Amino acid sequence: MSYGVSAALQAAIYQRLTSSSALVSLVGDAVYDNPPSGTLPGTYVSLGPEDVRDRSDGQGHGALHTFTISVVTDAAGFQTAKTIAAVISDRLVDADLRLSRGKLIYLNFERAIARRVGNSETRRIDLRFRARVED
């Protein structure tokens, strides 16, 4: 197994999202690897947890990255969050990402969970994707 491609994969995903005019029109520059301290905008996207498992074979080192991207909004209802989530999914599924290290074999959507955050009016959608990489 190699975890060596993880940073390159994350950078490529971040770049893919922040270069999307459709996403920028919805959230501006509020796409975070790590949300800043202090007051956050009412709507933002955050790269979240990642689980990585060995997928090495006789050909070489590889890994399966399962990662979450969250859409958070205080907009009424789920429509805004779902619109943003759809743009993210469209940008990432089957994307041909060029990595600074390693090679992306595939990137697929796995599942999403949409919910209210506590008793507040804040909505959150956690999108989970799977990316297979070789190093």
Q: What is the pLDDT of residue 99?
A: 97
Q: What is the pLDDT of residue 2?
A: 75
74-105 residue pLDDT tens: 999 999 999 999 999 999 999 999 999 999 99
- pLDDT band of residue 70 (cuts 50, 70, 90) is very high
Tokens of 33: 């690897």
Helices 79-92 + 6-18 axis angle, to 10? 120
Q: Tally the C-alpha atoms within 13 A of residue 105's C-alpha that lie toward its C-beta.
A: 14
Q: What is the pLDDT of residue 1?
A: 64
Q: How many residues does the chain have?
A: 135
Query: How high does pLDDT run on average in the chain?
Result: 94
Q: Phi/psi at 102 (nearest 5 deg)?
A: 80, -170
Average pLDDT of 25-38?
A: 92
* Fold of the domain built from segment(s) 6-112+119-134: STM4215-like (3.30.2000)
